Structure 1
Amino acid sequence: MQRLTITLDDETALALDAFMTARGYSNRSEAIRDLLRGPLRDAEAAREPSMPCMAVVSYIYDHRERDLGRRLVHAQHEHHGLGVATLHTHLDHDLCLEVAVLRGAVAEVQDFAQALVRERGVRFGGANLLPAPRSPAAHDHPDATAAVVVEKGTRRRG
């Protein structure tokens, strides 16, 4: 680890201390490290659009908006290779919240996330991109490899 010394004006130092208190940081170094990680990650993604990433895209929309639900589902089907999971919940009589978990190259994921959020009728939205391993680490699941044989017409309870 390297030790760095920085000088902050009083207003910025007070804002940092307020941030630390609100988030429960015990020291400035941890707070500053976390504040730097996001922009550094974003800068890396901008330099390398083929870098693999995970993303969480969330958006609120009015389900009464003409064909919006159909357009959103259609877009997700058109990009099914990026989709990992989607959560849909009703906020009230009119508004819905959807959260889509995506995996793919930064450029593709960003383009798709922006397409979802800019659909006419989407009120609020945004994406959080996180770096993903270039190739998933191999790991065994010994219990999952055991075959379960169930005879036709019988039910198995577990």
Structure 2
Amino acid sequence: MPIVSSSMTELLRDDLDRFADEHGYTGRSEVIREACQSLLEEYRETEEAERRVVGTVTAVFGYDEPAIERRMMDIRHEFEGSIRSNSHNCLADNEGCVESFVVEASYAEVLRFIGTVRGADESVSVEYTAVPVDLIREEIAEA
């Protein structure tokens, strides 16, 4: 197998090593391969790419991080046509910040938005959901 180098913080490297040990992986390479395969599968093009979805995207990052906050503002401007709602909240005792988005667009565009938020900074943790709009209508009609 070819060798691929990757840069990461010492904390991330240590967490990766600990995770590999605790979960029976042979080493960090195996964890990284599995994570890459999962991420690529998540973004793989499908016939669903143009299906309209509504999604929630939550990004968590450190308090008083001007570069990340500026990047979030840039992302808001870049995707303003897809963002239906956005809020920024600081956690108690300034433990961190939470940026929440509600987006509505094609599945491919929502995935592009999620990837952009994930790429804002390596310290940003991102969670999301995406639900096809037509399924929402069907569930409401059945109720």
TM-score per shorter chain, which class? 0.5 to 0.7
1:111 aligns to what?
112
Q: CA deviation at 1:75?
A: 0.9
Gaps of 5+ in 1: 1-41, 137-158
SS at match of 2:46: helix
User: After the TM superposition, which residues 136-147 of structure 1 pair with which residues of structure 2 at under 5 Å, given as runs?
Assistant: none
**Does the aligned pair in 2 maintain the 1:88–1:96 contact within 8 Å?**
yes
User: After the TM superposition, which residues 8-157 of structure 1 pair with which residues of structure 2 at under 5 Å, given as runs?
Assistant: 46-91=46-91, 92-120=93-121, 122-133=123-134
Q: Deviations over 1:101-151 (max 9, x none)?
A: 0000000111111211221154311211000139x8xxxxxxxxxxxxxxx
**Total equivalences in the alignment:** 94
**Does the aligned pair in 1 maintain the 2:84–2:102 contact within 8 Å?**
yes
Greater Cα radius of gyration, structure 1 or 2: 1
- For 2:87 and 2:126, the matched residues in 1 are separated by 14
SS at match of 1:133: helix
1:61–1:77 distance in 2 versus 1, CA, 3 Å: same
**Does the aligned pair in 2 maintain the 1:86–1:101 contact within 8 Å?**
yes
**Does the aligned pair in 1 maintain the 2:63–2:90 contact within 8 Å?**
no
- For 1:63 and 1:121, the matched residues in 2 are separated by 15
Identity within the alignment, %: 21
- For 2:122 and 2:88, the matched residues in 1 are separated by 16
Q: Deviations over 1:11-33 (max 9, x none)?
A: xxxxxxxxxxxxxxxxxxxxxxx
User: Which residue type is aligned with residue 102 of structure 1?
Assistant: V
Q: Deviations over 1:11-59 (max 9, x none)?
A: xxxxxxxxxxxxxxxxxxxxxxxxxxxxxxx8xx833201000000011
- For 1:48 and 1:116, the matched residues in 2 are separated by 21
Q: Deviations over 1:48-81 (max 9, x none)?
A: 2010000000110114335111111111111100
**Does the aligned pair in 1 maintain the 2:86–2:99 contact within 8 Å?**
yes
TM-score of the aligned structures, taking structure 2 as reference length: 0.57
**Does the aligned pair in 1 maintain the 2:50–2:108 contact within 8 Å?**
yes
Gaps of 5+ in 2: 1-41, 138-143
User: Which residue type is aligned with residue 98 of structure 1?
Assistant: E
